[in-house]
Amino acid sequence: MTATEAIDQLRRIAFLLERARAETPRVRAFRRAAQTLAELPGEEFARRVGDGTLTELSGIGPSSAKVATEAYAGETAGYLARLEDEHGPLVAGGESLRAKLRGDLHTHSEWSDGGSPIEEMARTARDLGHEYVALTDHSPRLKVANGLSAERLRRQLEVVRELNAELAPFRILTGIEVDILEDGSLDQDPELLASLDVVVASVHSKLRMPAADMTPRMVAAIANPLVTVLGHCTGRLVTGGRGTRPESSFEADIVFEACRRFGVAVEINSRPERLDPPRRLLRQAVEQGCVFSIDTDAHAPGQLDWQPYGCARAQECEVPADRVINTLPADELLDRIRERRERRTARSSAG
């Protein structure tokens, strides 16, 4: 008997805990236990289950040992069964829109402030039914999030190329969540940004800037031909461990008109502590003819299952499915992004 079933159950527990926003140490304990068992020879696993010494291994505590022992016996661990019962659908509504989504355009890995390797995030996205996921770790200025320098981002692109060869036909789209600097410029080398599939541009600093300054800052970024998505546009936090934070001030009609004109998707951020934009602004963006991207902003595998939050809000605010860009197959999405960049770059060059 191998440890495969025990590893799968431990990972499923961690996934459900992440999805329910459990405390990070609790989640990591189960992921660490799964990793310990993955590195353990099968015969040693069987022996330790038999003599009750799993807890002597680094990373295996009483709870994870009990899960592993029950899994070894061919059972669904009691703890996992309870979690499955407790964690049903996250929210009512948006199911038909969620079924149309082909991918997620805003996710993070352990390369910046996420908690898991790229491969684990990608495999989880695939298992959730996605055809693709965009890896959008932070840009260098966001040091608190271990933002990627140009050199580190280039190394990450090599890793993604290797994983895509292994995971095909599932695709990891190359990307970044790039900071919008105070003057509206982007926090990464333009030539490197141009090589990426997806660029999510977000404000992370000086969020209380007056609307008279924030509006042109955001519009300058939106007008950049390399930007694909405007991330969490108000920057608000409505709940969570970081406390609450009010919306940034900007002239929404001007910002959303820029998104419409330049073909930049307004992100419907599904993180429970963000749920950004607020309903009134989401409805306004719909009325102004914007396109959208429904993303999780996931920093852990279980958070990749948060899209229902965004889908429910999108349905409530009457967002048309044909204006959600991540309902498109990967090739069609990338063709659209590429054509837009070329068209916008040509116009910029022509003055």
Superfamily of domain 95-349: Metal-dependent hydrolases (3.20.20.140)
pTM: 0.93
CB-CB neighbours of 51 under 10 Å: 9
The string of pLDDT tens digits covering residues 8-55 is 999 999 999 999 989 889 999 999 999 999 999 889 999 999 999 999
Query: Mean pLDDT across the stretch 94-109?
Result: 97
Distance CA 84, CA 346 (A): 53
Superfamily of domain 3-87: DNA polymerase beta, N-terminal domain-like (1.10.150.110)
Top-confidence residue, 167 or 239: 167
281 Cβ neighbours under 8 A, 6+ residues apart = 233, 234, 252, 256
Closest alpha carbon to 200 in 339, 104, 97, 344: 104
pLDDT at 64 over 90: yes
How many CA atoms lie less than 13 Å away from 102 in the CB half-sphere?
20
pLDDT at 162 over 80: yes
Amino acid occupying residue 226? L
**Residue 317 buriedness (CB in 10 A; 0-12 / 13-18 / 19+):** buried
Confidence grade of residue 343 (pLDDT, cut at 50, 70, 90): confident
- Domain spans of the chain, in order of start: 3-87, 95-349
- Predicted pLDDT at 347: 76
